[in-house]
Amino acid sequence: MKKTLFTILILAALAAILVALFFYFFPRQAVAPGEEVGFQEFSPLEIAGEITPEGIIIVGEEGEELEEILVPGEEIMVGEEVKKINKVTDRGVAGGNIIYNKNGELIIYYVDSSNGNIYRKKIDKNEIFGSEERITTTIIPGVHEAFFTSLNTVGQTKQNAKVVLRYAKEDFDSPSGFVIETFLGNLPKENTDGTFASRELRGIFLEQNITDLSVSPDTNKLFYLANLGDKVLGMNYDLTSAKKVQIFSSSFTEWLSQYATSKSIILTAKASSDATGASYLLDIASKNYSKIMGGINGLTTLMSPSGKFLLYGGSDGALKIFDLDKKTSAPLGLNSLSEKCVWSKDNINIYCAAPDNLGGSLPDDWYKGLVSFSDSVWKVNTRDGNTTLLLEAKDFETPLDMVNLKLNEKGNYLFFTNKKDGSLWVITL
């Protein structure tokens, strides 16, 4: 018995030595932008622990249980009727999208910001909430932004459907101590019966330190800004061909972008109450750009789907509409920020979240989280000026500071994120 035990110990020691030699002579290689990988191979957080029915448990050096960071989705409001306003999920959400499936049911896709898992939930034709379904199980801690691309408007998830996940990763060689990673992942292929062959998220990394990114109206292209030396480059990336073309360059690096149409992009200087802002329209084909407006402190903008009308506001909070053809402006009749609004696809109606009182130095204090708002929801007809109060702040059980407003294709649901906790909500219009 002692001889057998001694032999086992010798073999275990030899195995440990061989493993150590393997990792010494064959270290894990860095990944170049564009090389497809499975994300768990390059997680920004090294995780030690085990997968349990309750989730992934982090285990400390002494074996003590420290923290549960991944919990399977619980069913929220399953079988419940959609009310005037509903919380879709308690999870902090980094981004989402809305489509219809072949049965005419509304499907809400969203990304959990804490672990990068992708979920979806449906609202059927009888306006009944379904259960929450987790699509991916790959862990990506601390996702700050998420965008879905190439999803069918109607039908199953397309083979080339993708998700863009953006997060900060520690990098002690960087002056800031971190780098911004942008991961372009392929959504798992969905079978005709709605199941998935795999729930692993695989894809490629784009360039590091992309400062801004936007998705085209057809969701088949990306425009992003990346610093190179003392200037910023604007790249148009085709998701079908995976080809990118530089269409913009500037020595001024603080820009925010939005596709005005499939053929043009609006670039607005990052807003501050202490600086005058300006907006430019960039033609994708010619790579030429022209100034739309400027000289406004705290300028923020939101282009209409047609690319003909620009919602904008400044540090005073007064929203206005600029007609790009007539070169004229008109007041919207609300005080808020353009980030709290969304255009309907008719290019006439605008839905806005607006607080009763705008406080602080805007938009800086709001961006920094120094001030927070409790919003009401308004609908404004920009053609006749008719303004309708849809929901009043005092009627909500909890204060809602609304951002990332989106309408579904039919325009009967308004989705938004509560900036206070990242939760996702839906309003029936």
Range of the domain at 114: 35-339
| Residue 81 reports pLDDT greater than 60 | no
Q: What CA–CA distance (Å, rounded) separates 171 from 178? A: 4
Sheet holding 255-261, edge to edge: 255-261, 264-269, 276-283, 289-297
Q: What CA–CA distance (Å, rounded) separates 336 from 371? A: 13
Q: What CA–CA distance (Å, rounded) separates 7 from 15? A: 12
387 lies in a domain?
no
| Residue 84 reports pLDDT greater than 90 | no
199 lies in a domain?
yes
404 lies in a domain?
no
385 lies in a domain?
no
Nearest Cα to 391, choosing from 22, 83, 56? 83
Q: Kindly indicate the confidence band of residue 38, based on its pLDDT and cuts at 50, 70 and 90.
A: very low
| Residue 296 reports pLDDT greater than 60 | yes
Within 126-268, residue ranges assigned H as helices are: none
Q: Kindly indicate the confidence band of residue 10, based on its pLDDT and cuts at 50, 70 and 90.
A: very low
Residues 340-364: pLDDT tens digits?
999 999 999 999 999 988 988 999 9
Residues 400-428: pLDDT tens digits?
999 999 999 889 999 999 999 999 999 99
Q: Kindly indicate the confidence band of residue 337, based on its pLDDT and cuts at 50, 70 and 90.
A: very high
Q: Token match 């951002």: residue?
A: 403
Arithmetic mean of pLDDT, 301-320: 97
Q: What CA–CA distance (Å, rounded) separates 302 from 380? A: 15
64 lies in a domain?
yes
397 lies in a domain?
no
| Residue 122 reports pLDDT greater than 70 | yes
Number of structural domains found in the chain = 1
425 lies in a domain?
no
How much helix, strand and coil, in percent to the nearest 5, is found in the chain?
A: 10, 50, 45
Nearest Cα to 205, choosing from 393, 371, 43, 79? 43
DSSP codes joined into one string, 266-331: EEEEPPBTTBEEEEEEEETTT--EEEEEEEEET-EEEE-TTSSEEEEE-TT-EEEEEETTTTEEEE
424 lies in a domain?
no
* CATH number for position 109: 2.120.10
| Residue 101 reports pLDDT greater than 90 | no
